[in-house]
Structure 1
Amino acid sequence: MRVNAEILSEGEEEEETKKGKDVGLQKMVVGYALTSKKKNSFLQPKFEALARNKGIFFVAIDSNKPLADQGPFDVVLHKLLGKEWTEIIEEYRQKHPEVTVLDPPDAIEHLQNRQSMLEDVAELNFCDGNGKVGTPKQLVIEKDPQSIAHAVEVAGLKLPLVAKPLVVDGSAKSHELFLAYDQNSLSELEPPLVLQEFINHGGLLFKIYIVGEAIKVVRRFSLPNVSEQELLKVGGFLRFPRVSCAAASAEDAELDPGIAELPPRPLLEKLAKELRSRLGLRLFNIDMIREHGTRDTYYVIDINYFPGYGKMPDYENIFTDFLLSLGRHKKRPTT
């Protein structure tokens, strides 16, 4: 039975509950509100089967019906955009504090703007015995592409610059980026956008997945280093539809050990703990680079809410354990 495809009927729910009791499991119902694309990548058959064996059942939330009339749920998992949905889920959170909502809409909104998403990292001024973590120097351009070159000069940003859309709305366009090599090319960019100083990082990016307190790091190929000579010769800008996708995995590549070495685990654990607290989120990932030629200087260049966990190795077990931890000390009230 595929319980994720539609709301369970009363008879089906009773049958599934009985099954859970038969195997000595406490049933957990996870209502989900996801786009079709996110649902297909996240709710893979292997994951659903594992979760079901542990007493976790995924139930689709019908956006055409009042959320309060659906359930009851132990957990609500969502990643939908728009003011209307935000108001619906926020009202639901207020009226049903016994339900774990992943995650609060106002906290998610904080990551939908590339200016605000990195503010918490910058304010941390994170530095310990395992390394230093900062953010690239950046500048927000709201409008008027003709003024970009002057604004860059005033801000003291050094070329080349990475240009990214200011708003992260889940679309393919919001993940596009451009690498601008000279001042003249800046006027061809389309605001609103964020300009970040490009930091040579050996063409490798660390994608750090956070699932509650669990951390999983994978290597992804990224933009190659830019030399001083290349900067003088190359003009204009280069467009990259998407960097660090799963197809760009560097896990099995032969890499310089100094580039491929993962960031120290204690550093990642402390950083993740700080960001969980500051962001108020439990499901996100951090895109981090190591400055080329250093061993302990890192930069966070992006943070994403509810990333493509289906691309994360062993996500089925990690996410199942996370959901079980949410219900371990909580019991859904009877209605």
Structure 2
Amino acid sequence: MGAVGGVLLDESVLLSDDGSGNPRLKPGAEILLRRLRYSNLRVGFCHHEDLSAVKAIFLQNTARIYSFSCISLDVPDAKFSFNQLLLDWGIAGDSCLYVTSKTHDAFTHEMQNEGWLTVCVGVDSGSVMNKEFLFINKLEELLITVCSLNKKAMQKSVVIIGYVMKPSREEDFAKRGALPIYPTQNGLIFVPLTFEIPLVSQLQDVDAVLHKATDEIVCFDPHISTHFSHGISFSKGMQELERFIQDHPECYMIDPLNNIYPLLDRYNIQQLLLGLQELNMKDRCRLRAPHFLKIDNFHEHTLRDQLSEANLSFPIIVKPQIACGVGDAHSMALVFKFEDFKEICVPLPAILQEYVDHGSLIFKFYVLGNNVFHAVKKSMPNASFLKSSSEKAGSKPIIFDSLKSLPVATDDQSSVGRLQGDMQSLDVDLVKSAANWLKTKLDLTIFGFDVVIQEDTGDHVIVDLNYLPSFKEVPDTDAIPAFWTAIKSAYEARKTN
């Protein structure tokens, strides 16, 4: 049998009703369909002629939403329908799964006779004795079942990468085709791990785990220790995953939690970025970190002196020291005068950071293993525009969430000519040298950082660092193969070590 290339889902595993006779998807079905949509598998629905018209229409409409096939079956025409489906899918040589909860259905046996493997959902395996059946308890187990079958079919030449990330981030990656269940050209299979069912059963065939652990932080206490890792509490699922990795060293985490902890702390990030001066050369624009100051209290009587010593002048961005993972990690303020500190409620401890006039343009760099890509985005306007906005609002500080309400420049605050000039002034080679330097310092597989170019000096200032960012802004089609290569190389490196 070849790798599984197609999945046909019977209506019996997809549909239920709301108690009033109206059809709806069963629990777990919507998430499964969303993941199958970007899996690189061929997917179809099927139903028999005796299905009610209301349910048949609902099933057909659902298939259309996800760009799946939908066929109607009766036993005399079953063979023709299924053969036509294979022709439409164009996956000759691959295996196909028929997923159902009807083990005694005549069509089930017809499919088996044609070489399809039947997966039974929620069926007592003791009632059926047939090697052509596989049994799973829940629909959520289907994807790991497909991955396990593909690994066996390809004689373990593939590497299964389980991944943990929040749905919105997963969809960003999946839409780009970055998380296929059908093997990539370099032999990777990606499967989502869910905390809704025991992890041990999901991880039996998983070789490595790709994670966005910050999505699983439930709380953070900055006062426990100067080391942020000691104050972080992860979800029960993430704790279970961490214990599994510790007990099963043959399963690798990409990347280890210890490697990502520095990026949770904006103070650590700023201190790390101070080392960028090592890369500066004569007769070239300067690469640097922004000026900054860590504070524990906005009312310290020496704060004015500390600002002066840190080379900070207004306006100043105020950011929480915790960089991600908790709800208020992105709650920030832009203050224009010393008295503004009394009016803000940014969580403490906090980082006071230099605001760099950068022509409303930010360069987002993505490091995928040994490859570096970048995208250009509109950003906050220069300080003069922001100050004008503040004065119109009663000379108050500007409070914002950097993920939801970032004050991005409007068209009248940034001219096309200036934006084009800023793009031309980007020294890509210099920033790539910074990417390689950061990769060595951090020992991370995939990370990103933001660069702004100071208008009056041309300095390239790195203002942010983050782990496993979505690179949906990168139009380059080479980014996806580079992502896969980075994952495969990290797996092989950790396996060797």
| Pairwise TM-score range, normalised by the shorter structure | 0.7 to 0.9
Structure with the bigger RCO (C-alpha within 8 Å, sep 6+) is: 1
The one-letter code sitting in structure 2 at the alignment partner of 1:127 is N
Aligned equivalents of 2:387, 2:409: Cα separation in 1: 26
Q: Is 1:31–1:60's contact at 8 Å kept on the other side of the alignment? A: yes
Question: Measured at CA, do residues 230 and 31 of structure 1 come closer, stay the same or move farther in structure 2, by a change above 3 Å?
Answer: closer
1:36 to 149, 167, 173: 167
Aligned equivalents of 1:246, 1:309: Cα separation in 2: 19
Q: Is 2:180–2:189's contact at 8 Å kept on the other side of the alignment? A: no
Identity %: 22
By how many angstroms is 1:114 displaced?
0.8
Deviations 1:107-156 (A, max 9, x none): 2111111111121110342313543221111112223x333x84144331
Aligned equivalents of 2:396, 2:417: Cα separation in 1: 30
| 1:223 maps to 2:380 | yes
Corresponding residue of 2:470: 308
The one-letter code sitting in structure 2 at the alignment partner of 1:107 is N
Q: How many residues are aligned here?
A: 323
Corresponding residue of 2:371: 214
Question: Measured at CA, do residues 135 and 248 of structure 1 come closer, stay the same or move farther in structure 2, by a change above 3 Å?
Answer: same
Corresponding residue of 1:269: 432
Aligned equivalents of 1:29, 1:246: Cα separation in 2: 38
Deviations 1:36-87 (A, max 9, x none): 2322222237334496343422222243535597233232101123445676
User: What is the TM-score normalised by the length of structure 1?
Assistant: 0.80
| 1:52 maps to 2:183 | yes
Deviations 1:226-246 (A, max 9, x none): 249958x94321123326999
SS at match of 1:131: coil
Corresponding residue of 2:293: 139
SS at match of 1:47: coil
Q: Is 1:8–1:59's contact at 8 Å kept on the other side of the alignment? A: no
Aligned equivalents of 2:367, 2:144: Cα separation in 1: 35
Corresponding residue of 1:76: 209
Aligned equivalents of 1:262, 1:217: Cα separation in 2: 14
Aligned equivalents of 2:468, 2:460: Cα separation in 1: 23
Aligned equivalents of 1:160, 1:140: Cα separation in 2: 16
| 1:254 maps to 2:408 | no
- Residue correspondence of structure 1 range 1-335 to structure 2 within 5 A: 1=7, 6-7=140-141, 12-13=146-147, 15-17=149-151, 20=154, 26-44=157-175, 46-49=177-180, 52-54=183-185, 55-63=187-195, 65-67=198-200, 70-80=203-213, 81-82=216-217, 83-84=233-234, 91-125=243-277, 126-128=279-281, 130-143=284-297, 145-147=298-300, 150-156=302-308, 157-171=312-326, 173-190=328-345, 191-192=347-348, 193-227=350-384, 234=391, 235-242=395-402, 254-256=416-418, 257-261=420-424, 263-295=426-458, 297-313=459-475, 314=477, 315-326=479-490
The one-letter code sitting in structure 1 at the alignment partner of 2:398 is L
By how many angstroms is 1:290 displaced?
1.0
The one-letter code sitting in structure 1 at the alignment partner of 2:444 is L
The one-letter code sitting in structure 1 at the alignment partner of 2:486 is F
Q: Is 1:285–1:304's contact at 8 Å kept on the other side of the alignment? A: yes
Question: Measured at CA, do residues 88 and 108 of structure 1 come closer, stay the same or move farther in structure 2, by a change above 3 Å?
Answer: farther
Any unmatched runs of 5+ in structure 2? Answer: 1-6, 8-34, 40-138, 218-232
The one-letter code sitting in structure 2 at the alignment partner of 1:16 is N
Question: Measured at CA, do residues 261 and 79 of structure 1 come closer, stay the same or move farther in structure 2, by a change above 3 Å?
Answer: same
The one-letter code sitting in structure 1 at the alignment partner of 2:382 is N
Aligned equivalents of 1:11, 1:286: Cα separation in 2: 37
By how many angstroms is 1:195 displaced?
0.9
Select between 163-172 and 186-195 the one with higher mean Cα deviation.
Answer: 163-172
Aligned equivalents of 1:9, 1:292: Cα separation in 2: 50
Aligned equivalents of 2:313, 2:474: Cα separation in 1: 34
- C-alpha root-mean-square deviation of aligned residues, in Å? 3.7
By how many angstroms is 1:289 displaced?
0.9
Deviations 1:271-292 (A, max 9, x none): 1111111112121111111110
| Rg comparison, structure with higher value | 2
Q: Is 2:360–2:408's contact at 8 Å kept on the other side of the alignment? A: no
Select between 196-205 and 221-230 the one with higher mean Cα deviation.
Answer: 221-230
Any unmatched runs of 5+ in structure 1? Answer: none
Aligned equivalents of 2:353, 2:323: Cα separation in 1: 16
Q: Is 1:165–1:176's contact at 8 Å kept on the other side of the alignment? A: yes
By how many angstroms is 1:182 displaced?
1.1
Select between 274-283 and 317-326 the one with higher mean Cα deviation.
Answer: 317-326
By how many angstroms is 1:324 displaced?
4.0
SS at match of 1:52: coil
By how many angstroms is 1:183 displaced?
1.1
Select between 210-219 and 92-101 the one with higher mean Cα deviation.
Answer: 92-101
The one-letter code sitting in structure 2 at the alignment partner of 1:240 is F
Select between 306-315 and 82-91 the one with higher mean Cα deviation.
Answer: 82-91
The one-letter code sitting in structure 1 at the alignment partner of 2:448 is N
By how many angstroms is 1:96 displaced?
4.6
By how many angstroms is 1:311 displaced?
3.7
Aligned equivalents of 1:28, 1:7: Cα separation in 2: 18
By how many angstroms is 1:216 displaced?
0.9
Aligned equivalents of 1:236, 1:317: Cα separation in 2: 47
Aligned equivalents of 1:294, 1:284: Cα separation in 2: 27
Aligned equivalents of 2:259, 2:470: Cα separation in 1: 18
Aligned equivalents of 1:290, 1:220: Cα separation in 2: 13
SS at match of 1:139: strand
